[in-house]
Amino acid sequence: MSWLSALSRTRARFTDALASLFRPGSAPSAADLDDLLDLLVIADVPPRVAQELLDAARHTASRSLPLLDAARQALLDALPAAATPPDFATESAARPDRTPTVVLLVGINGSGKTTTAAKLAQKALDDGLSPLLGAADTFRAAGSVQLKIWADRLGVPAVVGATGADAAATAYDAVAAALARRCNPVIIDTAGRMHTREPLMRELQKLRSAVAKRLPGAPHHTWAVLDGMLGQNALAQARQFHAATPLDGLIVTKLDGSSKAGFLLGVRETLPAVPILYAGLGESPADLAPFSPEAYVSALLPSPT
C-alpha cells in the first residue's frame, strides 16, 4: 500500500478545505490560517506544535509560495530527521564473531508487535538474511501461536515459549538458538503491556538482562511499536516505555486505518532522540515501509486535485 492511500483517512476529513489554501499571489488571510490550524488539529497534530508550524508557514508564505507549500515545508522541518533503519548484515559483520543483531519489540496490547515482527522477518528474508523469530509473549496462549503461524508461513525458524513460561528465559533461548544456527537478525516479540503497569515494565528489564547474559551487548535495538490509530496517546505511551527501557527506534503501525496520523509531528518534542524507523501500512508482511518524511507530508497535505 502506498503512503498516499494509507493516509487517505487522515486526509479525507479535510481535503475540501485544502483548495482555498493553495492560492498563490496573496498573503494568507487570518481565515486561511485558521483553516490550516483546524486541519492540523483534526489530523491530531499536537495543538502547540500545530501553532508553531503555522507561525513558521505564515512567515515563509509569499506571493510565489502558497501557504500550503509553506506549511508542507514547516511540517518537514518539524519531523524527526529521516533515519535509515539499521542494516542487520552490516551490523553483524562488524562484530568480532559475526554475532546476530537482536531486536526487541515492545508496546501496549494490540499495537501490532507480532505483525511487525513478521514484517521485519520478511524484510530480512528479502535482504537475503536468515532471521529467527523469538516469541517471548508467553502471557497468553494465542500470543506465541500467532507468531509461530507467521514463522511457518514465512519459512523462518521460531523459538516459542510455552504459555506461562518465563518470557526472559524464552528470549534467552531465542538468542542461543540464533547463535547455534547462525541466524541474523533475532526479532523478539514481547507481550503487550500497559505502560502504566510498573511490574510489567520491570519485566522488560529482566528480559533485556537475560538476552545480554547470552550475548553481551544485546539487545542491540529496542523498538516501540505504536498503534497509529491512537494518535497522541501513542506518544504518551512511547514516553513511558522509553523511561522503562531505552528505545532507539519507533515503528508506527496502522497508518492505513488512522485518521490521526498527524500525531507523528509531536514525536520530536516528546522523544527528541528516537527516530521513526518504519511505518505499517497494512496487515500483510510486505506492508512495512521505511519512514519517509517527504512521503508522509505529501500524503498529509497533498495538492488539491
The verdict on 115 binding ligand GTP (CB under 6 A) reads yes
The verdict on 285 binding ligand GTP (CB under 6 A) reads no
Q: Which is nearer to ligand GTP, 69 or 227 (CB)?
A: 227
- C-alpha grid cell, residue 227: 498503534
Q: Decide which of ligand GTP, Mg ion, none touches 282; Cβ closer than 5 to 8 Å per partner kind.
A: ligand GTP
CA–CA gap between residue 151 and residue 285 (Å, rounded): 11
Q: Decide which of Mg ion, ligand GTP, none touches 91; Cβ closer than 5 to 8 Å per partner kind.
A: none
**Count of C-beta atoms within a 10 Å radius of residue 249:** 20
61, 119, 113, 108: which is closest to 85 by C-alpha? Answer: 119
CA–CA gap between residue 4 and residue 301 (Å, rounded): 10
Q: Which is nearer to Mg ion, 71 or 204 (CB)?
A: 204
DSSP state, 137? -
Q: Pick from 28, 46, 66, 143: which binds ligand GTP (CB under 6 A)?
A: 143
Phi and psi of 45, rounded to 5°? -70, 130
Q: Residue of minimal CB distance from ligand GTP?
A: 192
Minimum separation from the CB atom of position 248 to ligand GTP (A): 19
The verdict on 92 binding ligand GTP (CB under 6 A) reads no
Minimum separation from the CB atom of position 96 to ligand GTP (A): 34
- Considering only residues 183 to 242 of the shown chain, the ones binding ligand GTP according to CB under 6 A are 192
281, 289, 286, 282: which is closest to 154 by C-alpha? Answer: 286
- Considering only residues 147 to 186 of the shown chain, the ones binding ligand GTP according to CB under 6 A are none
Q: Pick from 66, 85, 100, 282: which binds ligand GTP (CB under 6 A)?
A: 282
26, 66, 49: which is closest to 301 by C-alpha? Answer: 66
Helix axes 232-244, 198-214, angle to 10 degrees: 50
- C-alpha grid cell, residue 38: 483546524
Q: Which is nearer to ligand GTP, 203 or 256 (CB)?
A: 256
Q: Which three-class secondary structure state does DSSP give residue 223?
A: strand
The verdict on 101 binding ligand GTP (CB under 6 A) reads no
Judge if the upstream peptide bond of residue 185 is cis by omega within 30 degrees of 0. Answer: yes
The verdict on 85 binding ligand GTP (CB under 6 A) reads no
Helix axes 67-78, 47-60, angle to 10 degrees: 130
Residues that bind Mg ion (CB under 5 A): 113-114
Q: Which is nearer to ligand GTP, 269 or 283 (CB)?
A: 283
**Helix ranges restricted to H, 13-128:** 15-19, 30-42, 47-60, 67-78, 88-93, 113-126
Indicate the pairing of strand 276-280 with strand 132-136.
Answer: unpaired
Q: Which is nearer to ligand GTP, 69 or 287 (CB)?
A: 287
Residues 15-54, one symbol each (x = binds ligand GTP by CB under 6 A, - = not), give: ----------------------------------------
Which residues are at the interface with ligand GTP (CB under 6 A)? 107, 109-115, 137, 143, 192, 253-254, 256-257, 280-283, 287
